[in-house]
Amino acid sequence: MDIIDNDELTLADDLKTTIKKESDINIIADSFSIFAFKELYRQLKNIERFRRIRGQTQK
């Protein structure tokens, strides 16, 4: 298991090697920016389904 520290290894780097054609992607996060989508567009355009499940934000 790799540690994603967003310095040496970013989540985008990991997802680029993990996402395969016709994958189902489920991400639990408070946010998923348009910049992240743009970064992963090549991989995401061939997947079967993408779901972002919102995490609970604290007020």
pLDDT tens, residue by residue, 4-55: 888 888 888 888 888 888 889 887 777 777 888 888 888 888 899 988 887 6
30 contacts 55 by C-beta, under 8 angstroms: yes
Predicted pLDDT of residue 48: 92
Q: Which of 35, 29, 26 is nearest to 57 (CA)?
A: 29
Count of CA atoms in the C-beta half-sphere (13 A) of 15: 20
Please check the confidence at residue 57 and state whether its pLDDT lies above 70.
no
Alpha-carbon distances of 55 from 10, 21, 27, rounded to whole Å? 20, 26, 10
Predicted pLDDT of residue 1: 63
Residue 26 main-chain phi, psi, to 5 deg:
-125, 120
